[in-house]
């Protein structure tokens, strides 16, 4: 099955301890779709301005990514600027220019309304609800959201949560959403809000998965050089959802755990260069090598 | 092989979000020896005051723990009081009374000088060096230390590091010792100081192991109720070292990873009740059940 992704296409200006990059192509939909494209055909619903490079769109199409849902608007594309601390878990947003994003309606072309596996990236929860209403027969819907919406539009977020299958957020967001500090209690509270599965991202500490009969913990791969953490969460989500789409939306134990491992592999790769660069150049052999490294990282039974 | 442990026997006054406990028996040697006793006979070198309960010493002996190296001094035993935050990774030390600990000489009775597997708990590095000089044929020496010694007695800590095999510290200590923020760079720098293996404890995020041909990551078990994190690090170290002693000090891949898993199991159990209480009551079946839970927690290959 193919994966439908609703999110952003953007320019990022990034400063990390390893250097800086200006006008990097980014946005949640770009990271998620490119990561997913190694597993399954993807489609993007997003909005771009007149400044968004046609070359990039062409490159995305060449990766089997359907851009029929990308709206072209007058004006400039969404733009974000940020600076990471020595502790890469911390970053300051230096600038956010919504630009054409304020006009985004998340309207699905008719052909995309039959999509069965969908990832709703971090956008206004009212738009996420609108997408859900446009879908004819969703089988698996994954969702991302963030502190901003949990604080400013909580009722809308709760309505979305009732209707989705898989929630992918970070630990800080899980605590804010649930009001619980203990991560297991937070997870139980969130699962009562609707999602069947919950993946909690913990940055350099990896991912916890809840909602199955047992908890699953996937460590992150300890890297000596992290060039740029931008998009790691979206790459994880895209890699994971793409894998699940290939498995026909099966959320049961084994495919789900393998999907999480695959998302972790993709996220560990994307941070090795600025922006999307590592994803563009990635070969299947690189993915397999990192997957083997993850197996060695975590194996203590057979070991 | 038996495990020789140099450390403290103490009284702890503990406040956690789950409640409070006064005059709990604690100290690094108590946690480490009791945890190790499920794998191998242990021996403690420590000092106690006149107030230390004879019952407790008798109970420790009944667990096959040799107390011939415990010195009895006039005065009160070492005492610590602390309060944990809602975030259990944070705690305030409310009071520290060294008492008889100021007289501690760490002198080994002749019979213990032939010990081959030794855990040097977190004490003055000059005492740790003195213990090393008293050992006739150490095969595997594990070490704990802390920020206080890294800041106040760095040259002595460095001399100890040259002579030990396995260093077990937390991530903050690893960064302080190495001057590196990135944990992989920190680990490489520390391994150049002498230890063959390095275990970095990350609290609720588990443990990273370095020094083998590949990095090993062991997640912590996500618990819904953590009553008391006191002694979790010492319990991990004791469980791990006890397992390695049973394996005759073998630090190669498989025994090392299994030892880390076993230490993690023991640490995940000890925090379920105050102080040492969970370790006293623990049955082999509890340990096996938690080991199985760890296997389910981390398995994604066969899964």
Considering only the beta carbons, identify the residue of A222, A225, A254 that sits closest to B303. Answer: A254
Is residue B29 within 8 Å of B53, Cβ to Cβ?
A: no
Question: CB B297 to CB A253 under 8 A?
Answer: no
Mind telling me how many Å the CA of A182 is from chain B's nearest CA?
Answer: 7
B254 contacts in chain A (CB < 8 Å): 303
Question: CB A216 to CB B183 under 8 A?
Answer: no
pLDDT digits (tens, 9 = 90+) for B41-56: 999 999 999 999 999 9
A299 contacts in chain B (CB < 8 Å): 257, 301
Q: Of all residues in chain B, what percent carry a pLDDT higher than 90?
A: 92
How far is residue A161's CA from residue B26's CA, in Å, rounded to a whole number? 46
Q: What is the mean pLDDT of residues B84-105?
A: 92
How far is residue B292's CA from residue B287's CA, in Å, rounded to a whole number? 9
**What pairs with residue B124 in β-bridges?**
none
Joined together, the tokens standing for residue A209 give 């998965």
CB pairs under 8 A between A and B: 92
Residue linked to tokens 């997003």: A46
Question: CB B298 to CB A300 under 8 A?
Answer: yes
- Number of Cβ atoms within 10 Å of the Cβ of B283: 9
What was the pLDDT predicted at A302?
56
Q: For B28, phi and psi rounded to 5 degrees?
A: -60, -40
How far is residue A215's CA from residue A3's CA, in Å, rounded to a whole number? 26
Q: What is the pLDDT along chain A (303 residues), one digit of tens a residue?
A: 999 999 999 999 999 998 999 999 999 999 999 999 999 999 999 999 999 999 999 999 999 999 999 999 999 999 999 999 988 888 999 999 999 999 999 999 999 999 999 999 999 999 999 999 999 999 999 999 999 999 999 999 999 999 999 999 999 999 999 999 999 999 999 999 999 999 999 999 999 999 988 899 999 999 998 899 999 999 999 999 999 999 998 888 889 999 999 999 999 999 999 999 999 999 999 999 999 999 999 988 654
Strand pairing of B42-48 and B91-97? Answer: unpaired
Percent of chain B as helix, strand, coil, to the nearest 5: 40, 25, 35
pLDDT at B23 over 70: yes
pLDDT at B177 over 70: yes
pLDDT digits (tens, 9 = 90+) for B124-168: 999 999 999 999 999 999 999 999 999 999 999 999 999 999 999
What was the pLDDT predicted at B252?
85
b/e B82-108 (16+ beta carbons within 10 angstroms → b): bebeeebeebeeeeeeebbbeebebeb
pLDDT digits (tens, 9 = 90+) for A141-158: 999 999 999 999 999 999
CA distances from B86 to A174, B83, B89 (A): 16, 10, 9
Is residue B10 within 8 Å of B77, Cβ to Cβ?
A: yes
How far is residue A253's CA from residue A258's CA, in Å, rounded to a whole number? 9
What was the pLDDT predicted at A110?
97
What was the pLDDT predicted at A86?
85
- Show Cβ contacts of residue A287 under 8 Å, excluding neighbours closer than 6 positions: A38, A265, A266, A269
- Mutate which of A239, A301, A302 to disrupt the B interface (most B C-beta within 10 Å)? A301
Is residue A274 within 8 Å of A68, Cβ to Cβ?
A: no
Question: CB B257 to CB A223 under 8 A?
Answer: no
pLDDT at B250 over 60: yes
Rg (CA), chain A: 18
Is residue B60 within 8 Å of B34, Cβ to Cβ?
A: yes
What was the pLDDT predicted at B208?
98
How far is residue B59's CA from residue B72's CA, in Å, rounded to a whole number? 17
Share the mean pLDDT of chain B.
96
Helix (H) or strand (E) holding A116: none
Is residue A35 within 8 Å of A239, Cβ to Cβ?
A: yes
What was the pLDDT predicted at B302?
57
What was the pLDDT predicted at A303?
44
pLDDT at B303 over 70: no
Tell me which residues of chain A have a C-beta less than 8 Å from any C-beta of chain B.
86-87, 181-185, 188, 202, 204-206, 208, 214-220, 222-226, 253-254, 257-258, 260-261, 293, 295-301, 303
ipTM score of complex: 0.91
pTM of the model: 0.94
User: Nearest Cα to B298, choosing from B195, B212, B240, B220?
Assistant: B220
Joined together, the tokens standing for residue A98 give 């919504």
- Mark residue A275 as left, alpha or beta (left: phi above 0; alpha: psi -120 to 50; beta: remaining): left
Question: CB B253 to CB A298 under 8 A?
Answer: no
Strand pairing of A197-201 and B3-6? Answer: unpaired
Mind telling me how many Å the CA of B199 is from chain A's nearest CA?
Answer: 14
């Amino acid at each position: 099955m193919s994966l439908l992704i609703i999110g952003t296409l953007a320019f990022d200006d990034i400063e990390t301890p390893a250097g800086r990059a200006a006008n990097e192509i980014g946005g949640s939909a770009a990271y998620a779709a490119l990561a997913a494209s190694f597993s399954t055909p993807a489609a993007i619903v997003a909005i771009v301005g007149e400044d968004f490079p046609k070359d990039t769109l062409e490159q995305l199409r060449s990766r089997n990514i359907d851009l029929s849902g990308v709206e072209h608007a007058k004006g400039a594309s969404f733009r974000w600027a940020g600076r990471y601390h020595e502790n890469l878990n911390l970053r300051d947003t230096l600038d956010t220019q919504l630009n054409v994003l304020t006009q985004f309606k998340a309207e699905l072309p008719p052909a995309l309304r039959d999509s069965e596996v969908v990832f709703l990236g971090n956008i206004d929860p009212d738009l996420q609800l609108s997408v859900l209403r446009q879908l004819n027969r969703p089988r698996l819907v994954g969702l991302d959201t963030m502190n901003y919406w949990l604080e400013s539009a909580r009722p809308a977020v709760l309505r979305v949560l009732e209707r989705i299958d898989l929630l992918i957020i970070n630990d800080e967001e899980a605590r804010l959403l649930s009001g619980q500090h203990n991560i297991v209690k937070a997870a139980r509270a969130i699962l009562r809000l609707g999602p069947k599965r919950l993946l909690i991202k913990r940055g350099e500490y990896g991912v916890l998965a809840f909602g199955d009969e047992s908890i699953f913990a996937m460590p992150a791969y300890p890297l000596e050089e992290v060039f740029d953490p931008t998009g790691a969460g979206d790459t994880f989500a895209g890699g994971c959802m793409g894998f699940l789409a290939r498995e026909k939306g099966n959320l049961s134990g084994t495919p789900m755990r393998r999907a999480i491992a695959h998302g972790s592999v993709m996220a560990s790769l994307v941070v090795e260069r600025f922006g999307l660069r590592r994803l563009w150049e990635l070969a299947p052999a690189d993915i397999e090598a990192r997957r083997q490294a993850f197996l060695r990282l975590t194996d203590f039974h057979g070991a």
